[in-house]
A = this chain, B = another copy of it.
Amino acid sequence: MQLEKRQLSQSEENYIKAIYALSETCEDTISTNLLAERMSTKASSVTDMLKKLTDKELLTYQKYQGCGLTPKGRAIALSIVRKHRLWEVFLVDKLQFGWDEVHEIAEQLEHIQSTQLTNRLEAFLGYPKVDPHGDPIPNDEGVFDTPAVRVSLASCETGSKGIVMGVDDGSPEFLQYLNKIDLKLGSEIEILEKLSFDGSLLIAMEKRTIQFSHVVAARIFIQPYQS
C-alpha cells in the first residue's frame, strides 16, 4: 500500500486516527455521533469531514450509514500510529519522560511529515516493538510483529499468573496511579481472588497484595503463563 504524497491537514489526520482507533475496539462501522464524542466536536462538523475524506478515497461512507477506512485510509492511520508510538518511546527512553507525560507531546509529533525521519528514529531507538504502554508499533509497511498474547486482567480467572504486557494509555491519572503502586510493563502478577459482589480483584504483585476495581483490571493487560 503506497501512501500518496498529497498530504493531509492535522485535523484530517486526527479524524483518520480516531476512526482507526474506534474500528479496532468497536464494531467495524463507526457512527457519526460516536466519532463526534471521540473528537470532542459536533456531529455536523463530523459529517462535513466525513464527506471530505470520502472524496479523498480514505473513507467508505454513506449518508446515515456510518463510515469505515479504505485500505488507503488505514495505511495513513497506521503511519500516524507508528509515528505516535515511536515518539513516545523516544520521550520515555531518551528524554526520561514518564509514561503518563508523553501522550500530549506525541499527539503533536505524530503529525511531522517525513518518512525518512520516522525510519531513522525507529533505527535510533533500536526497532522497538511496543510503546511505553505496551501498544505495538507497526513497521514502515503498516504491519505489526506477531503480537504477544494480551488479555485483560479483568477477563482472567482466579489463580491466573502472568506478566503485565500493556496498560490503557488513555488517561494520565490512571498511569500515575500505576506509578504509585509501582506497576510496570514486565511486572509479575497473580490473581488471588475475584470478589463477585463488586467485580474487584485481589492481586499479588512482587510480594505485595493489591486490590483492583473491575474498571482498573479491565485496563491492564497481561500475558498469562501457560500452566
Contact = CB atoms under 8 A, between A and B. Distances in A.
Interface string A88-131: 00010011110000001100110011101100110010000000
Interface of A: 91, 94-97, 104-105, 108-109, 112-114, 116-117, 120-121, 124
B108 A95 contact: no
A97 B114 CA distance: 12
A96 B108 CA distance: 23
A165 to B, nearest CB: 27
A95 B124 contact: yes
Contact of A120 (B96, B104, B120, B121): B96
Task: Give this chain's copy count.
Answer: 2
B91 A124 contact: no
Contacts of A91: 117
B120 A97 contact: yes
Contacts of A108: 112-114
Nearest to A108: B112
Contacts of A104: 114
A95 B109 contact: no
18 contacts: A91-B117, A94-B124, A95-B117, A95-B120, A95-B121, A95-B124, A96-B120, A97-B116, A97-B120, A104-B114, A105-B112, A105-B114, A105-B117, A108-B112, A108-B113, A108-B114, A109-B109, A109-B112
A126 to B, nearest CB: 13
Contacts of A95: 117, 120-121, 124
Nearest to A114: B105
Contacts of A109: 109, 112
Nearest to A109: B112
